Chains A and B, each alone.
Chain A
Amino acid sequence: ETGVTQTPRHLVMGMTNKKSLKCEQHLGHNAMYWYKQSAKKPLELMFVYNFKEQTENNSVPSRFSPECPNSSHLFLHLHTLQPEDSALYLCASSQEGERVSGEQYFGPGTRLTVT
């Protein structure tokens, strides 16, 4: 495997379900990100793990919870989602020093549909 991988690629879940999205990066990077991409809207940064420190967007609902067990793996745990959470969820990674470089490598995304 190379680059950034995400599983599953497609997910349909009911509002009462609990599921997890998985991301793995094979680039030796030290920062990982979760983004939400909705049609015709800017990428929305949800969570950042940089040097194991988590930074989150305060507008992200608590029904989304991230987990980063090591620098190569990132999870997004989902529970009691709403239909408006249906979107493409993208994982990205980058190699960062003291400051963010901005050049990120993205996975193919998980297309999530909440019914």
Chain B
Amino acid sequence: GQNIDQPTEMTATEGAIVQINCTYQTSGFNGLFWYQQHAGEAPTFLSYNVLDGLEEKGRFSSFLSRSKGYSYLLLKELQMKDSASYLCAVLDSNYQLIWGAGTKLIIKP
């Protein structure tokens, strides 16, 4: 079966750095996505990786290793507004999005 694993919950301190991991086992791979979802709101697109390596976008970076079936989302200079759930999703060989259950990130002052 297809599976995406990410931690259920993480806690970090304002101003610090946090890394949210995602591992996947899917039938084929056509890219990996990270979405952010604030409580009671819609998920919003953060990043897309299809090749190995690090993609940087401001305070957020996303890394992919296809050989290891592994990605991480790195958030720097954490702000209180970064408190949200972060969803990892993989586009499989049928171009179907397979979703993880999300990681709830709690930021403390």
Contacts and interface: CB of A to CB of B under 8 A. Distances in A.
Interface in A72-88: none
A100 B97 contact: yes
Contacts of B95: 99-100, 102
Interface in B24-76: 30-31, 33, 40-45, 48
Q: Is the interface of A mostly helix, strand, loop or mixed?
A: loop
B48 A103 contact: yes
B13 interface: no
A108 B30 contact: no
**Interface size range on A against B:** 10 to 19
A90 B85 CA distance: 15
Interface stretch (A12-20, A37-45, A63-71): A37-45
Given A43-B87, A102-B33, A106-B42, 10 more contacts: A42-B101, A43-B89, A45-B96, A90-B43, A100-B97, A102-B95, A106-B43, A106-B44, A108-B41, A109-B42
Interface of A: 4, 40-43, 45, 90, 99-100, 102-109
Interface of B: 4, 8, 30-31, 33, 40-45, 48, 87, 89, 91, 95-102
18 contacts: A41-B101, A42-B99, A42-B100, A42-B101, A42-B102, A43-B99, A45-B96, A90-B42, A100-B91, A102-B33, A102-B91, A102-B95, A103-B45, A107-B42, A108-B40, A108-B41, A108-B42, A109-B42
